[in-house]
A and B are shown apart, each in its own frame.
Chain A
Amino acid sequence: MKNSGVFRSRGVSWLMHKLCFTLGSMLVTASAFGGNKAFDDGDYTVKATLSSPMNTIAGLTEWAQSINHVYGITSIVLVLVFFAVSIPLIYAIYKFRVSEDEDLINKKPPKQVHGNVVLEFAWTIVPVILLLFIAIPTWEGIFSRPVKPPEGALKIKVIGHQWWWEFQYPELGITTANEVHLPENTPVFFELSSADVIHSFWIPQFGGKKDVLPGADAVNQMFFTTPKLANPEKAGGEYYQGQCVELCGLSHALMRFEAVLHSKQEFDSWAKVHNQPPVIASELEKKGELLFAQCQVCHTISGTPSEDLEKQMLAMDPPAPKQGPNLTSFGDRRTLGAGTRKNTYENFAKWVREPQSIKQGATMTAFNLSDDDMQAIAAYLRFSTAKNY
C-alpha cells in the first residue's frame, strides 16, 4: 500500500476563487508559523492559498459540480446586486457630504423628499426577478437529486461514533474504520446512522454534507457517482479528505476520515483480500498476536478469535457491539485516531500509551506496555494486517 495519493484541484474559474487567489498571493504566506503539534500533517498537495483538501468549490463528482454551478450563478447575480447598492451608496456619501464645521443650524435644509412610488416599486420588483435567477437553478438542484438509491449502487453503511467513523459494506461483508474505499466512476449509496450523537458526513470534493443522526427511524441517505481517477496509471488509490461538521462533543475537531478512490480492478482486489486473516511473518508479530487478546474486547480483526467474540457479543440480549474501530485492515491505513495522526510507530505507541494526549475524551484504554511489548503489538497491527492488492 503506497501513500501516494494527492488531492486534486481541478481548474476552477469562479469569480470568488480568482479573487481569493489574487488577494492570497498578494500577502506573504504565513504558513511558516508552526505552533505546537497536536497532530501530524498528512501529505496532501496544497498549491494555492485557497487550495485545501477540503475545498468546496473544486467539485469532482457530477453532484458537486452541479452545486458549484448554482453557486456560480448565484455569485454573479449577487456581485451585480452588490455593485447596484455600493456604487450609489459611495457616490451619495461622497457627493452630498458637508463639512462638519459648517453652520447647519441656520442653513436652509435640503429638499424634504418623503419617497418616490415609482422608485420604490422598482426596487421591490427587480429583486424578485433577480431572485428567480437564483431560485430556478436552486429548485432544479433540489429536484434533480435522486430520492432512491440508483440501480446497482455500491451500498456503504456509515456509522458515526464519538469521534471516529465506521464503514460497513454489507454486500461485501467488510467492516472498516476511518478510511472508506471506493471504486472510481461508480454509483455509491451511503446509509448514514449514528451510534451516539449527531454527526455530519462530508467529503467536500465529492459533494455536500448530510447529518448523521441517532435513532433507528432517522437514517439519512446520500448518493453520488464517484469521479474518475485523476491519474489512472498510479496504483494505491487517491485520497480525499472528509470531516465531521456537526459539533459532536469534546474532540469534534479530531473526527476526520479519508475516502480512497481506486480503479475498479484495484477495488475488487482490495475487497477480495480485505477480510483475509493477518499473516504472521516473524516472532515479534507472533508475540503481538498474543498480546492482541487484550484488545479484542473492543476491536475486531477478521479471521482471528476476535471475530468470533464479536459474533457472540452481538448475539447477546441486548446486543453488545464492540466499542472500538475494526482493525482488520489497520496495516493499510495512512492514519490513526480518525485521521489525526500518521500511522507511524511513534504515533502508534503514543496512541496506545496515552490516547488522551492525542484525542481528549477518547474511550480507548491506555495500556502502559513495555517497549518490547509495544514493538510486538505494533508489528502485528501495522504489518501482519497489511494486505497486498
Chain B
Amino acid sequence: MAKNLPSTGIVSWLTTVDHKRIGILYGVTALFFLLFGGAEAIFMRTQLALPNNTFLDAGTYNGLVTLHGTTMIFLFVMPLSAAFFNYLTPLMIGAPDVAFPRMNALSYWIFLFGGLLLNFSFVVGLLPDGGWFNYANLTGPKYSPSHAIDFWVLGVQVVGLASLIAAINFFVTIMNMRCKGMTLLKMPIFIWTTLVTQVLLILALPVITVALMMMTFDRSFGTGFFDPGAGGQVIMWQHLFWIFGHPEVYILILPAMGIVSEILPTFSRKPLFGYSVMVYSSCAIGFLGFAVWAHHMFTTGLGPWAQALFSAATMLIAVPTGVKIFNWVSTLWGGHIRFTTPMLFALSFIAMFTLGGLSGIMHSSPPIDYQHQDTYFVVAHFHYVLYGGAVMALFGGIFYWFPKITGRYMDEGMGKLQFWMYMIGFNLTFFPMHFLGLQGMPRRIFTYASDQGWNLWNLVASAGAYITAAGGVLFFINIFYSLKWGKKAPHDCWDGRTLEWTLSSPPPEYNFAVDPEVKALDDWWLRKWDKDGKRLHPEVQPEIDPSTKHLPNPSFWPMILAFGILLLACGPFFNAKGIALSLVGVLVMLIATYGWSFEEA
C-alpha cells in the first residue's frame, strides 16, 4: 500500500517517515503540551499568590503539581530535544535520513499516544497526584485506590518506550551514517551531546521501565514490591526512580548545552573554544550522572559513607560543568558578538545555568541538604537549571533553526520582547523562591498560613509567572506571524558553520543532492573564508529532481503498531478484565509488525 500514499495533506503527515517531518511533528506536539504544562504552572502560582487561598482545592493542586512536572519533563523538554535530534542529526552529519526511518515514526506515535494517555486523566477527572517522582507507598493501591496514578504510571511507561526506541535509532545513525571525512572528533558539538544523551537514555530508561512495571504489578495484580505490609520496601522505589531520574536531568540539559554550543560560535564568528575538552566534559557529565542518584535521598536515612561518597561524586560533576561554562565565555572572548534573538537566549542560558549549578553544589552537601531538601530552595535550583538553562536554550534553538525549517526568519522584534519578558518573569518567579526555601517553605503544599513570612515572595513569584505567560503567548503569535509574513531565509541564513547551512531553507526531501565530504570541524565555515580572512563563495548544495533519489516509503504501520502499544498499556485500567484489552493490543502489534515486515521500505 505504501507506494500509493500521497506526499502532501494530512495522510502524508500520518504516514511520513521523513526525519524532518517527524522532527516538526515532535516540535509541534511538544509546544502543544507546553500549553498544558504552562497553564498548570499558572494555576498553581495563582493559588499560591496569597496565603490561605481557596482558588484550588488540595486534590486539584496535588494533581497539577504532578502533571506540571511530568508534562514539562516528559512531554515538553524531552520531545522538543527529540525534535532537534530528528531534524538536525542527518543534516549535520550529511546523511539522507536516520538509520531506521519507520522506527523513527514509531517513536513519535508512541510518544504522542503516551502523552495523550497521561492527559486523558483530565478528561475523566482523575489527576495523578503522587508527584512527578510518584513515591511509593503513597501511590500504591492502598493509599491511591482510584485509577489516577495509573494514568501516570502507564503514560510515562509508554512515553519512555518511545524515547528508548528513538535513542537506539539516533545512536546507530550517528555511529554509522556520518558523511565522508566526518570522524568522531569532527562532528558538530550538538551531535556529540546528542550522542551522549542517547547513551544515557539507553542505559537509564530500562531502569524506570522495570520500576514502572513493578508499580503496575503492585497496583493491578496485588504484588508487594513497594508495600511494607507485604514485605516490600518503599525506599527501593526511590533508588530505582533516581537511578533513572538523575541521568534524566542530564538527558534534559545535554541537548541544550549542545544547542548553545552551536549558537555561540555562529554569533561570535569564532569556533567553539576547547571543542575536544567540551566533548570530554559531556562524556564525563554523562558518566558521573550515573553515580550520584542518592543525593536525592540524603534525608531518607542513608549511612554516613553513602552520604559522603554520593556527595563527593555530585561535587565532581561541577568540574566538567564548570569547564564548559568557562569555555563558553572564552568562545565569546574576542569575537564579533551579534545580539540576535537566538544569541540572547544562548547568553541567558550561560548566566541562568550558572546560578542553578551553584545552588546545586549547595545541595551536594548533605548537611545543607538536610535543611534545603523538599523546600522551595530546591524548586528555585532546578528551575534555574531546567528552565533558565534547558528551556531558554531550546527557545534559542527554535529561533536559530526556524528559518532553516520553514524558510522564514522568526520576527526579531517580537523575539527580543519575548526574551526580555521571559528573563524578567523567570527571575521574578524563581529568584524569590531561594528566599522562600531559606524561610522553610515546603514544596508541594497547596496552601500556607499568613503568619509564615512567605506572603511577599509568593506574590512576587506569581507576578513573574504572569509576565512569563504573556511572553509565551507572544512566542506563539510570533510563530504564526512568521510562518506567513516572516523575512525569507536563504541557505546560509545566519552565516553558520555546519552542514545544514549548505542546504536550501527548507531543505529538500532528499537532503543532500551531492554526498557531502568534510575535511575538518566547522568545514562549511572554513570553505567560506580563506586563511587570510578573505571571503570565498563556496557552492551550496544543488537541487535535483527528487525522483532520482531513493527515499524510504511512507507507511501507516508505525502508527498502527503504536496504537497497539497504547491498547496494551490501557489494559491495567480494567484490572483482570483488562487482560482482554491488552491481548487485543498485542494482536494489533503483531498484525502491524507483520505488515511492516513485508512492506517495501
- Give A residues with C-beta under 8 Å from B: 16-17, 20, 24, 27, 29-31, 33-44, 46, 48-57, 64, 66-67, 70-71, 74-75, 78, 81-82, 85-86, 88-89, 92-93, 96-98, 100, 102, 104-116, 119-120, 123-124, 127-128, 131, 134-135, 137-139, 141-143, 145, 147, 162, 196-198, 200, 204, 207-211, 213-216, 218, 220-221, 243-254, 340, 360-361
Contact A85 B326 (CB under 8 A): yes
Q: Which residues of A contact B459 (CB under 8 A)?
A: 30, 33
Given contacts A52-B452, A115-B275, A360-B57, contact A104 B137 (CB under 8 A): no
| CB proximity of B270 to chain A, nearest CB, Å | 6
| CB proximity of B130 to chain A, nearest CB, Å | 7
Contact A204 B228 (CB under 8 A): no
| A198 interface neighbour in B234, B304, B456, B535, Cβ under 8 Å | B234
Name 25 A/B residue pairs within 8 A (Cβ), A-sorted: A24-B456, A30-B459, A33-B51, A34-B450, A52-B453, A54-B452, A66-B367, A67-B367, A85-B329, A85-B354, A89-B347, A89-B351, A104-B338, A109-B270, A113-B270, A115-B277, A134-B361, A142-B307, A215-B234, A216-B228, A221-B301, A246-B135, A247-B443, A250-B62, A253-B446
Given contacts A50-B435, A120-B323, contact A247 B366 (CB under 8 A): no
B435-460 toward A: CB 8 Å interface, digit per residue (1/0)? 10111111111111111111111011
Contact A108 B54 (CB under 8 A): no
Q: Which of B331-350 contact A (CB under 8 A)?
A: 332-340, 347, 350
Given contacts A109-B269, A128-B319, contact A211 B299 (CB under 8 A): yes
Q: Which residues of A contact B358 (CB under 8 A)?
A: 78, 81-82
Q: Which residues of A contact B355 (CB under 8 A)?
A: 82
| CB proximity of A49 to chain B, nearest CB, Å | 6
| CB proximity of A342 to chain B, nearest CB, Å | 11
Q: Chain A interface secondary structure, helix, strand, loop or mixed?
A: loop
Count B-side interface residues using an 8 Å CB cutoff: 109
Contact B273 A113 (CB under 8 A): yes
In the complex, what residue of chain A is closest to B315 when comparing beta carbons? A131
| CB proximity of B271 to chain A, nearest CB, Å | 5
Given contacts A93-B347, A110-B336, A250-B58, contact A145 B269 (CB under 8 A): no
| B495 interface neighbour in A43, A105, A116, Cβ under 8 Å | A105
Given contacts A52-B440, A89-B350, A127-B319, contact A107 B370 (CB under 8 A): no
Q: Which residues of B contact A71 (CB under 8 A)?
A: 362, 367-368, 371
| A209 interface neighbour in B65, B129, B299, B454, Cβ under 8 Å | B299
Q: Which residues of B contact A360 (CB under 8 A)?
A: 57-59
- Give B residues with C-beta under 8 Å from A: 50-54, 57-59, 62, 65, 129-131, 135, 137-138, 143, 228, 233-235, 268-271, 273-277, 299-301, 304, 307-308, 311-312, 315-316, 318-319, 322-323, 325-327, 329-330, 332-340, 347, 350-351, 354-355, 358-359, 361-362, 364-375, 434-435, 437-457, 459-460, 495, 529, 533-535
Distance of A249 Cα from B59 Cα, bound (Å): 9
Given contacts A30-B455, A134-B361, contact A252 B332 (CB under 8 A): no
| B322 interface neighbour in A74, A111, A123, A209, Cβ under 8 Å | A123
| B318 interface neighbour in A16, A127, A198, Cβ under 8 Å | A127
| B274 interface neighbour in A44, A46, A115, A134, Cβ under 8 Å | A115
Q: Which residues of B contact A108 (CB under 8 A)?
A: 533-534
| CB proximity of B104 to chain A, nearest CB, Å | 34
In the complex, what residue of chain A is closest to B358 when comparing beta carbons? A78
Given contacts A211-B299, A253-B447, contact A31 B455 (CB under 8 A): yes
Q: Which residues of B contact A75 (CB under 8 A)?
A: 362
Contact A70 B367 (CB under 8 A): yes
Distance of A82 Cα from B255 Cα, bound (Å): 24
| CB proximity of B323 to chain A, nearest CB, Å | 6
| A107 interface neighbour in B51, B138, B307, B336, Cβ under 8 Å | B336
Distance of A96 Cα from B367 Cα, bound (Å): 42
User: Which A-B residue pairs are the 9 nearest by beta carbons?
Assistant: A208-B370, A54-B440, A215-B228, A253-B445, A141-B367, A52-B453, A35-B50, A108-B533, A52-B439
Contact A53 B299 (CB under 8 A): no
What would 4 more interface pairs be, CB under 8 Å, given A27-B456, A51-B453? Answer: A54-B441, A55-B439, A127-B318, A247-B65
Given contacts A113-B271, A135-B311, A142-B307, contact A35 B336 (CB under 8 A): no
Q: Which residues of B contact A106 (CB under 8 A)?
A: 535
Distance of A213 Cα from B495 Cα, bound (Å): 58
Distance of A64 Cα from B371 Cα, bound (Å): 9
Given contacts A36-B52, A245-B374, contact A138 B311 (CB under 8 A): yes
Q: Which residues of B contact A243 (CB under 8 A)?
A: 440, 442
Q: Which residues of A contact B268 (CB under 8 A)?
A: 96, 110
Contact B58 A46 (CB under 8 A): no
Q: Which residues of A contact B364 (CB under 8 A)?
A: 134, 138
Contact B456 A53 (CB under 8 A): no
Contact B276 A142 (CB under 8 A): no
| CB proximity of B264 to chain A, nearest CB, Å | 11
Q: Which residues of B contact A33 (CB under 8 A)?
A: 50-51, 455, 459
Contact B370 A67 (CB under 8 A): yes
Q: Which residues of A contact B337 (CB under 8 A)?
A: 92-93, 96-98
Q: Which residues of A contact B443 (CB under 8 A)?
A: 245, 247
Contact B270 A110 (CB under 8 A): yes
In the complex, what residue of chain B is closest to A114 when comparing beta carbons? B271
Contact B371 A50 (CB under 8 A): no
Distance of A138 Cα from B269 Cα, bound (Å): 43
| CB proximity of B126 to chain A, nearest CB, Å | 14
Distance of A74 Cα from B307 Cα, bound (Å): 17
In the complex, what residue of chain A is closest to B65 when comparing beta carbons? A247
Contact B50 A52 (CB under 8 A): no
Q: Which residues of B contact A98 (CB under 8 A)?
A: 336-338
Distance of A106 Cα from B495 Cα, bound (Å): 11
Distance of A181 Cα from B594 Cα, bound (Å): 70
| B451 interface neighbour in A42, A74, A120, A220, Cβ under 8 Å | A42
Distance of A52 Cα from B362 Cα, bound (Å): 21
Q: Which residues of B contact A252 (CB under 8 A)?
A: 58, 62, 444-446
| CB proximity of A104 to chain B, nearest CB, Å | 6
Distance of A207 Cα from B459 Cα, bound (Å): 28
Distance of A119 Cα from B331 Cα, bound (Å): 13
Distance of A25 Cα from B443 Cα, bound (Å): 25
| A56 interface neighbour in B276, B315, B327, B439, Cβ under 8 Å | B439
Contact A17 B438 (CB under 8 A): yes
Contact B448 A253 (CB under 8 A): yes
Contact A207 B366 (CB under 8 A): no
Given contacts A197-B138, A245-B374, contact A20 B456 (CB under 8 A): no
| CB proximity of B169 to chain A, nearest CB, Å | 32
Q: Which residues of A contact B311 (CB under 8 A)?
A: 135, 138-139, 142
Contact B368 A104 (CB under 8 A): no
Q: Which residues of A contact B235 (CB under 8 A)?
A: 213, 218
Distance of A93 Cα from B442 Cα, bound (Å): 38
Contact B274 A196 (CB under 8 A): no
Q: Which residues of B contact A57 (CB under 8 A)?
A: 371, 438
In the complex, what residue of chain B is closest to A127 when comparing beta carbons? B322
In the complex, what residue of chain A is closest to B138 when comparing beta carbons? A197
In the complex, what residue of chain B is closest to A122 when comparing beta carbons? B326
Contact B323 A200 (CB under 8 A): no
Contact B374 A200 (CB under 8 A): yes
Distance of A107 Cα from B307 Cα, bound (Å): 55
Contact A142 B374 (CB under 8 A): no
| CB proximity of A114 to chain B, nearest CB, Å | 5
In the complex, what residue of chain A is closest to B371 when comparing beta carbons? A56
| A207 interface neighbour in B334, B359, B370, B533, Cβ under 8 Å | B370
| CB proximity of B330 to chain A, nearest CB, Å | 7
| CB proximity of B211 to chain A, nearest CB, Å | 16
